[in-house]
Amino acid sequence: MKQDRYDVVVVGAGMGGLCSAALLTHSGYTALVVDKLPFVGGRASSVKYKGFTLPTGALYVETGGVVEKLFKEVGAPFAVRSFPMQLCFRMGGRDYLMPQKGGLRDLMSHFADERETAAVLTAIRRAFAWQEPSMAISLRDWLLQHTQNEKILAIFRGLVNYQCVNFRDMPAGEFIRQLKFATGATAGAHPQGFLALMQELVGVVEAGGGRVWTSTRARSIVVRDGAARGIVVERNGKDLEIAAGAVISSAGPHATVDLAGSGHFEKGYLKELKEKVHPLAYVCVEVSSDRPLVDFPGVMVVPEGRRQMTMMCTSLAYPEFAPPGKHLLQAWAAPDSSFEPLDTAAEVDTIVGDLKQAIPGFDDRAEILHVSYWQKDWPMYRALPGALTQKTPVENLYNVGDGVAPLVPLGLPACAETARIVVADIRQRLKPAG
């Protein structure tokens, strides 16, 4: 078998893997990134389809946060354009704009008296200022201690949907933490789609002497004497061993164990992995129309359907994403459960049914372009934050990405943060071979 050597080898060219490789090459390490898919970006990439630019996963990235900071640090252009972060709730056939200041109070006041509103706000204020609620209770059950008002519960169901987590799956503690992060945050998209953004990181890796190989599958992680020594990849039909001082995997913590062989991991780690790392499911429906299906240019929350849903006429903020004369609406919704087996086709029927209810005249005005269901090995998030650390029991083997997210905003910022943590550790332990 042919052999090659790099300081660090990275499995997966998504946000976690590419951020790691960019930080490494920027610090003088040689790095090779391999991805089994023919494109970079993983669940944060984009494709051209029927004239539209559609995401392979992530729709937006936080601006001014961890990701942008990392791009700046490695010298990658971050041409993300923010959109107005205002939310509008469509409830009972009416639209309620959520004011940016005092929005929650304002929204609740349409459906509850002052005493009821105050009870919920006091609980939230206390959770912010004193102690976050437990991770052992769902947000819904936590709220039920303070209100029985179905409309208020629906408002929170809608806010959770904005974080792309099912109301029943969201621990109360995590929601409060996300709410803290969300305050004042803005988000946006690259006008040419996520692929263009991720290619900026590829540019940094390659300019630093690293390599990014797509259509290259890691078949195994080589472990000898309790330490990771490299990987074996399949490239152009041949197996190739890549030796490395450290291995970073963004394939997800379960896949990392499979690639290295579970026999190399401590039992306690495997137990935690089994108990804590559960992927979260989501559904995205993309719709084409001649005229905008909603007039509001921000995020429209539809919290009262059979499934929680959020939608946005993306082409109002990003006309580049639709061909001339067309509009693009993206609706994202949580299936009934991430963890129980479901009839996924029936879930999509339900979600599309809800969408048709939320948009008057849907059948005459709209055409469904694409439906994606995210779950299991290709999920919305591989785990809730804080499930596992980035280091594994195998020396010099790390995980990055949303399966080992620390307590920062979910999704892409979490991926960037894991890269930063892992690269800081590598820099302490390993000298670049030069």
Ligand X SMILES: Cc1cc2nc3c(=O)[nH]c(=O)nc-3n(C[C@H](O)[C@H](O)[C@H](O)COP(=O)(O)OP(=O)(O)OC[C@H]3O[C@@H](n4cnc5c(N)ncnc54)[C@H](O)[C@@H]3O)c2cc1C
54 binds, among other proteins, ligand X, none (CB under 5 to 8 A by kind): other proteins
Tokens matching residue 246: 């450290």
Report the 10 Å Cβ neighbour count for 421: 17
Q: Which helix (H) or strand (E) holds 217?
A: strand 217-224
Binder of other proteins out of 68, 169, 347, 402 (CB under 8 A): 347
Strand ranges, E, within 236-294? 238-249, 282-289
Size of interface with ligand X, in residues (CB under 6 A):
35
Q: Does 282 bind ligand X (CB under 6 A)?
A: yes
Q: Does 250 bind ligand X (CB under 6 A)?
A: yes
Q: Does 343 bind other proteins (CB under 8 A)?
A: yes
Binder of other proteins out of 180, 378, 393, 421 (CB under 8 A): 378
Shortest spacing between CB 93 and other proteins, in angstroms: 28
Instruction: Please give the residues from 21 up to 60 whose contact with other proteins meets the rule CB under 8 A.
Output: 36-38, 42, 47, 49, 54, 56
Q: Are 297 and 313 in contact (CB under 8 A)?
A: yes
Q: Please report the sign of the dihedral spanned by the C-alpha atoms of residue 146, residue 150, residue 151, residue 154.
A: positive
Tokens matching residue 247: 């291995």
Binder of other proteins out of 172, 228, 348, 414 (CB under 8 A): 348
Could you give the 3-state DSSP secondary structure of residue 297?
A: coil
Closest CA to 31 of 216, 240, 198, 246: 246
215 binds, among ligand X, other proteins, none (CB under 5 to 8 A by kind): other proteins
Q: Does 317 bind ligand X (CB under 6 A)?
A: no
Instruction: Please give the residues from 168 up to 207 whose contact with ligand X meets the rule CB under 6 A.
Output: none
What residue has token string 């946060």? Answer: 65
Q: What are phi and psi of 287, to 5 degrees?
A: -130, 140
Closest CA to 99 of 113, 87, 83: 87
434 binds, among ligand X, other proteins, none (CB under 5 to 8 A by kind): none
Could you give the 3-state DSSP secondary structure of residue 60?
A: coil
339 binds, among other proteins, ligand X, none (CB under 5 to 8 A by kind): none
Helix 194-207 / helix 66-74 crossing angle, nearest 10 deg: 40
270 binds, among ligand X, other proteins, none (CB under 5 to 8 A by kind): none
In the complex, the residues that contact ligand X under the rule CB under 6 A are 11-17, 34-37, 42-44, 57-61, 164, 217-218, 250-251, 255, 282, 284, 374, 380-381, 401-402, 411-412, 415
In the complex, the residues that contact other proteins under the rule CB under 8 A are 36-38, 42, 47, 49, 54, 56, 215, 343-348, 370-379
